[in-house]
Amino acid sequence: MTTAGSVTAPPADVLREADRRRTFAVISHPDAGKSTLTEALALHARVISEAGAVHGKAGRRGVVSDWMEMEKARGISITSAALQFAYGDAVVNLLDTPGHSDFSEDTYRVLAAVDSAVMLLDAAKGLEPQTLKLFDVCRHRGIPVITFVNKWDRPGRDALELCDELVERIGLQPMPLTWPVGEAGHFRGVVDRRDGQFIRYSRTAGGATAAAQERLDPARAEAEEGAEWTRAVEELDLLAASGGDFDLDRFLAASATPVLFGSAVLNFGVRHLLDLLVDLAPRPTPRPDVDARPRGLDAPFSAFVFKVQTGMDPSHRDQVAFARVCSGVFERGMVVTNATTGKPFATKYVQQVFGQQRSTLDVAYPGDVIGLVNAHSLRVGDTLYTDKPAVRFPGLPSFAPAHFAAVRPADLSRSKQFRKGIEQLGAEGVVQILRSARRGDGAPVFAAVGPMQFEVAAHRLDAEFKSPVRLDRLPYTVVRRLPDPAHQPLVDNNRGEVLTRADGTHLALFPDSTALGVLKRLHPEVVLEPLVAGT
């Protein structure tokens, strides 16, 4: 993978280097085409950077399969790593948001490390549950979102209907920058709304390289595409009437989203997406510290850890901490201070974030992600810095859990280790630890965004603390914040349970929305607040 010619620039260029960075993640539901889009983006950048390089299907597959190979080699498939590539003068950092069964709190935390997100929708499915959850986090954090409607080469929903869904379900104003000509499944190309021209796509063999494109003026498009062109133009008129024109401020304020239509597998629209990211997506900005003072990008080095990954294989207990650089220049070998402990951390072994390979990283700038190897002392939320005065960024929030399991030691003689382990995993954010007087201190409940977190926690208790555990999944699916714990008996009486998180938040858990509905009807005085994804 091209890793940008950036790494040799002198420290004085930090502002210029930061300005080149576009750090984003793709948010989507499994199967929407995230892996396909990731490789298409990387391939596109490479094809364009190395003009003339043609990669067949085998080459195209390379980017992603290597990535997965890396994951296998580490014996764990829950990485939130990043792929870095140069595109024109920009350096693009694409952070991975794990999905499928490995959807977890880490997936959400990645969004604390990006400056923008691409919301990838399957044209036939529109907004799906996992996308909605991730979008909630983006909304909560004010992250600008670009929408890419994928799989337009296959039969799917109507473009206007998909746009309406954005407004109606999530209150996000769509601002299409392109508009499809030909309904889903009969994709001819798009109208470029900037100049009204028709960009006609033609398939390349296997969709392996950048798709061939042709620009036609509207008169010729009408002559050649007939009714399909006319329909697209009429739909665009409707859109313009409903306020769908592009407005940069609204995009940056995260209240409206530019929309592109395409097909990742055929490379339709991918280049447009890259151009859009480079032209309009936010660059790194000064990050506020715990006292809400923004830290200038050219201040001395600082970063925060947004993910810690421990190998599942006890024989090579490597631990990699992923940190996003917030200010200054990172140079390998630097000794950084962990603001939480005040202790130094030597950065001799620092990886280039994972793309195709695990290579050594020498220099990084604001917006980049560094992987610190053997980072046993680092925890999620830690701030790293070099020069005094110390800086500390706000810790990462907890997220609304969706899965619950009671945990107890399988071997009672290891109770002490069990307690120590639970405390440690809670502090690291591997799982959330919930307790109640009824269950007792020695029998906490694990709460997680995805069930994979339970497996990781149980494995670590066994492998690191020598305390094997028993997990009993609890049948709760609905969770609310209960501001007044005095209402606990009412929750209990309605098939619910109240548990308290380490941050003091009282959570009311219910098996289903019927139980919640009954309680609300019988006791309207009980305040139950939805848990925002990022709280």
User: 401: which DSSP letter?
Assistant: -
Strand order in the sheet with 383-385: 344-346, 335-338, 383-385, 302-310, 319-327, 369-373, 350-352
CB-nearer residue toward ligand G4P: 31 or 455: 31
- 96 is annotated as contributing to ligand binding: yes
Query: Which residues, in sequence order, are CB contacts of 299 under 8 Å at separation 6+?
Result: 327, 328, 391
Q: Which stretch binds ligand G4P (CB under 6 A): 49-57, 261-269, 318-326, 375-383?
A: 261-269
CB-nearer residue toward ligand G4P: 203 or 459: 203
Q: Tell me if 28 contacts ligand G4P by CB under 6 A.
A: yes
Q: How far is the CB of 104 from ligand G4P (least distance, A)?
A: 16
Q: Tell me if 97 contacts ligand G4P by CB under 6 A.
A: no
Q: How far is the CB of 274 from ligand G4P (least distance, A)?
A: 16
d(CA 360, CA 349): 7
Handedness of CA 517, 519, 525, 531 (dihedral sign): negative
Residue from 13, 19, 31, 192 binding ligand G4P (CB under 6 A) = 31
Q: How far is the CB of 22 from ligand G4P (least distance, A)?
A: 21
- 100 is annotated as contributing to ligand binding: yes
The answer to whether the beta carbons of residues 340 and 383 sit under 8 Å apart is yes
User: 360: which DSSP letter?
Assistant: B
Q: How far is the CB of 359 from ligand G4P (least distance, A)?
A: 24
Q: Tell me if 59 contacts ligand G4P by CB under 6 A.
A: no
Residue from 97, 130, 263, 347 binding ligand G4P (CB under 6 A) = 263
Closest by CA position to 482, among listed 494, 474, 465: 494
**Interaction mask 265-304, ligand G4P, x per CB under 6 A:** x---------------------------------------
What's the angle, vertex CA 381, arms to CA 137 and CA 503, rounded to 5? 75
- 97 is annotated as contributing to ligand binding: yes
Q: Tell me if 153 contacts ligand G4P by CB under 6 A.
A: yes
In the chain, helix, strand, coil percent, each to 5? 35, 25, 40
Residue from 21, 74, 133, 151 binding ligand G4P (CB under 6 A) = 151
d(CA 387, CA 92): 28
Residue from 33, 126, 355, 409 binding ligand G4P (CB under 6 A) = 33
d(CA 496, CA 510): 4
CB-nearer residue toward ligand G4P: 203 or 481: 203
Q: How far is the CB of 192 from ligand G4P (least distance, A)?
A: 19
Query: Which residues, in sequence order, are CB contacts of 232 under 8 Å at separation 6+?
Result: 179, 180, 181, 191
User: What is the bridge-based pairing of β-strands 256-261 and 173-176?
Assistant: parallel
Q: Tell me if 34 contacts ligand G4P by CB under 6 A.
A: yes
**Residue-level length of the chain:** 535
**Interaction mask 413-452, ligand G4P, x per CB under 6 A:** ----------------------------------------
d(CA 326, CA 298): 9
Binding site for ligand G4P (CB under 6 A): 28, 30-36, 150-151, 153-154, 263-265
Return binding residues for GTP: 96-100
